[in-house]
Protein backbone atom coordinates (compact mmCIF):
# COMPACT_ATOMS: atom_id res chain seq x y z
CA UNK A 1 0.00 0.00 0.00
CA UNK A 2 1.41 3.38 -0.92
CA UNK A 3 1.47 6.38 1.36
CA UNK A 4 0.39 9.66 -0.22
CA UNK A 5 2.52 12.76 0.41
CA UNK A 6 -0.45 14.59 1.91
CA UNK A 7 -0.56 11.82 4.54
CA UNK A 8 3.21 11.80 4.95
CA UNK A 9 4.20 14.05 7.83
CA UNK A 10 7.91 14.30 8.51
CA UNK A 11 9.85 15.21 11.64
CA UNK A 12 13.40 16.41 10.96
CA UNK A 13 15.73 16.64 13.93
CA UNK A 14 18.71 18.88 14.64
CA UNK A 15 20.95 16.84 12.31
CA UNK A 16 18.92 17.60 9.16
CA UNK A 17 17.50 21.12 9.64
CA UNK A 18 18.50 22.32 6.13
CA UNK A 19 16.91 19.24 4.59
CA UNK A 20 13.74 19.95 6.55
CA UNK A 21 13.55 23.49 5.15
CA UNK A 22 14.01 22.22 1.58
CA UNK A 23 11.27 19.66 2.15
CA UNK A 24 8.90 22.43 3.25
CA UNK A 25 9.60 24.42 0.09
CA UNK A 26 8.80 21.28 -1.89
CA UNK A 27 5.45 20.91 -0.14
CA UNK A 28 6.20 18.27 2.48
CA UNK A 29 4.53 18.77 5.86
CA UNK A 30 7.75 18.86 7.87
CA UNK A 31 8.18 19.71 11.53
CA UNK A 32 11.74 20.69 12.47
CA UNK A 33 12.95 20.18 16.01
CA UNK A 34 16.29 21.33 17.33
CA UNK A 35 17.01 18.31 19.48
CA UNK A 36 18.08 14.68 19.25
CA UNK A 37 16.80 13.82 22.73
CA UNK A 38 15.26 10.35 22.37
CA UNK A 39 12.45 10.88 24.85
CA UNK A 40 11.41 14.21 23.30
CA UNK A 41 11.51 12.76 19.79
CA UNK A 42 9.56 9.63 20.78
CA UNK A 43 6.83 11.74 22.40
CA UNK A 44 6.57 14.01 19.35
CA UNK A 45 6.41 11.05 16.98
CA UNK A 46 3.69 9.44 19.07
CA UNK A 47 1.66 12.66 19.43
CA UNK A 48 1.98 13.91 15.84
CA UNK A 49 2.07 10.64 13.85
CA UNK A 50 5.10 11.86 11.90
CA UNK A 51 7.97 9.95 10.32
CA UNK A 52 11.40 10.77 11.73
CA UNK A 53 14.19 11.87 9.37
CA UNK A 54 17.63 11.99 11.01
CA UNK A 55 21.36 11.44 10.54
CA UNK A 56 21.60 9.90 14.02
CA UNK A 57 21.86 6.10 13.80
CA UNK A 58 21.07 5.81 17.48
CA UNK A 59 17.91 7.92 17.17
CA UNK A 60 16.77 6.23 13.95
CA UNK A 61 17.16 2.81 15.56
CA UNK A 62 15.41 3.85 18.77
CA UNK A 63 12.51 5.60 17.04
CA UNK A 64 12.19 3.70 13.78
CA UNK A 65 12.98 6.68 11.58
CA UNK A 66 14.55 7.23 8.19
CA UNK A 67 18.33 7.33 8.49
CA UNK A 68 20.07 9.84 6.22
CA UNK A 69 23.74 9.10 5.60
CA UNK A 70 24.74 11.89 3.20
CA UNK A 71 26.18 15.24 4.30
CA UNK A 72 25.22 17.66 1.51
CA UNK A 73 21.61 18.81 1.52
CA UNK A 74 21.18 18.04 -2.19
CA UNK A 75 22.49 14.51 -1.62
CA UNK A 76 20.22 14.13 1.41
CA UNK A 77 17.23 15.06 -0.77
CA UNK A 78 18.29 12.47 -3.32
CA UNK A 79 18.74 9.83 -0.61
CA UNK A 80 15.36 10.58 0.97
CA UNK A 81 13.68 10.56 -2.43
CA UNK A 82 15.10 7.08 -3.15
CA UNK A 83 14.01 5.78 0.26
CA UNK A 84 10.47 7.14 -0.20
CA UNK A 85 10.29 5.74 -3.72
CA UNK A 86 11.40 2.32 -2.46
CA UNK A 87 8.60 2.37 0.13
CA UNK A 88 6.03 3.21 -2.57
CA UNK A 89 5.42 6.70 -1.19
CA UNK A 90 3.71 8.77 -3.86
CA UNK A 91 5.15 12.27 -4.22
CA UNK A 92 2.13 14.33 -5.20
CA UNK A 93 2.08 18.00 -6.11
CA UNK A 94 1.45 19.69 -2.76
CA UNK A 95 1.81 23.44 -2.32
CA UNK A 96 5.01 24.98 -0.99
CA UNK A 97 5.27 25.68 2.73
CA UNK A 98 6.96 28.38 4.79
CA UNK A 99 10.48 27.33 5.73
CA UNK A 100 9.97 28.87 9.19
CA UNK A 101 6.35 28.02 10.12
CA UNK A 102 5.51 25.00 7.92
CA UNK A 103 2.27 26.75 6.87
CA UNK A 104 1.04 26.34 3.30
CA UNK A 105 1.92 29.47 1.33
CA UNK A 106 -0.87 31.57 -0.19
CA UNK A 107 -0.86 33.79 -3.26
CA UNK A 108 -0.02 37.40 -2.48
CA UNK A 109 -0.91 40.38 -4.71
CA UNK A 110 2.15 42.25 -5.93
CA UNK A 111 1.03 45.53 -4.36
CA UNK A 112 1.14 43.91 -0.91
CA UNK A 113 4.89 43.22 -1.14
CA UNK A 114 6.01 46.81 -1.79
CA UNK A 115 8.85 47.51 0.62
CA UNK A 116 8.95 43.88 1.76
CA UNK A 117 11.11 42.53 -1.08
CA UNK A 118 14.22 43.93 -2.78
CA UNK A 119 13.44 46.59 -5.42
CA UNK A 120 14.91 44.49 -8.24
CA UNK A 121 12.72 41.52 -7.27
CA UNK A 122 9.64 43.73 -7.12
CA UNK A 123 10.38 45.26 -10.53
CA UNK A 124 11.15 41.98 -12.31
CA UNK A 125 8.65 39.50 -10.86
CA UNK A 126 4.87 39.37 -10.89
CA UNK A 127 3.99 36.42 -8.66
CA UNK A 128 4.55 36.22 -4.93
CA UNK A 129 3.43 33.98 -2.11
CA UNK A 130 3.38 34.64 1.62
CA UNK A 131 3.03 32.71 4.82
CA UNK A 132 -0.36 33.35 6.42
CA UNK A 133 1.17 32.81 9.87
CA UNK A 134 4.42 34.81 9.93
CA UNK A 135 3.93 36.97 6.81
CA UNK A 136 7.25 36.03 5.16
CA UNK A 137 7.12 36.68 1.40
CA UNK A 138 8.41 34.17 -1.15
CA UNK A 139 9.11 34.39 -4.87
CA UNK A 140 10.63 32.24 -7.58
CA UNK A 141 14.39 32.52 -7.32
CA UNK A 142 17.35 30.43 -8.36
CA UNK A 143 17.17 28.43 -5.12
CA UNK A 144 13.61 27.36 -5.86
CA UNK A 145 14.38 26.72 -9.53
CA UNK A 146 17.11 24.27 -8.51
CA UNK A 147 14.73 22.48 -6.12
CA UNK A 148 12.05 22.31 -8.81
CA UNK A 149 14.53 20.95 -11.35
CA UNK A 150 15.66 18.29 -8.88
CA UNK A 151 12.15 16.99 -8.34
CA UNK A 152 10.94 17.55 -11.91
CA UNK A 153 13.70 15.21 -13.06
CA UNK A 154 12.15 12.63 -10.74
CA UNK A 155 8.55 13.13 -11.80
CA UNK A 156 7.39 15.61 -9.14
CA UNK A 157 6.50 19.28 -9.46
CA UNK A 158 6.12 21.95 -6.81
CA UNK A 159 3.43 24.58 -6.47
CA UNK A 160 5.76 27.56 -6.17
**End residue of a domain, out of 54, 86, 118:** 86
The parent domain of residue 147 ranges over 106-152
62 and 128 together in one domain: no
Q: Is there a domain that residue 127 lies in?
A: yes
Report residue 144's pLDDT band, with 50, 70 and 90 as the boundaries.
Answer: low
Question: What residues contact 148, with CB distance under 8 A and at least 6 apart?
Answer: 157, 158, 160
Provide the number of structural domains found in the chain. Answer: 2
Q: Could you tell me if 20 and 55 lie in one domain?
A: yes
Report the distance separating Cα 146 and Cα 65, nearest Å: 27
Does residue 58 belong to any structural domain of this protein? yes
The better pLDDT of the pair 85, 111 is held by 111
Query: End-to-end alpha-carbon separation of the chain, Å?
Result: 29
- The phi, psi pair for 90, rounded to 5°, reads -80, 130
On the question of pLDDT at 160 being above 60, the answer is no
The sheet carrying 128-130 orders its strands as 106-108, 128-130, 137-138
Q: What is the pLDDT of residue 91?
A: 65
Q: Are residues 81 and 17 both part of a single domain?
A: yes
Residue 16 lies in a domain: yes
**DSSP structural state of residue 90:** B
Assess whether 112 and 68 both reside in one domain. Answer: no
53 and 116 share a domain?
no
Instruction: Let me know whether 76 and 112 are in one domain.
Output: no
62 and 15 belong to one structural domain = yes
For the stretch 36-94, pLDDT in tens is: 889 999 999 999 999 999 999 999 999 999 999 999 999 999 999 899 888 877 666 67
Measuring CA to CA, which residue among 148, 160, 31 is closest to residue 101?
Answer: 31
Q: pTM of the entire structure?
A: 0.81
Domain boundary among 86, 117, 140: 86
Residue 48 within any structural domain of the chain: yes
Q: Is the pLDDT of residue 114 over 50?
A: yes
> Are 17 and 57 within one domain?
yes
Q: Are residues 71 and 128 in the same domain?
A: no
Same domain, 82 and 26: yes
Helix/strand/coil (H/E/C) assignment for every residue in 109-137 = CHHHHCCCCCHHHHHHCCCEEECCCCCCE
Q: Where are the beta strands (DSSP E) in 33-147?
A: 51-54, 66-67, 106-108, 128-130, 137-138
Amino acid sequence: MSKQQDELKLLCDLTVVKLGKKLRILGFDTEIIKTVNQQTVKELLRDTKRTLVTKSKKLANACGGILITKNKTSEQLEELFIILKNTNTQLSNNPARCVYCNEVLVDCPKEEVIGRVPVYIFETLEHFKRCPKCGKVYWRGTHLVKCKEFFASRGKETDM
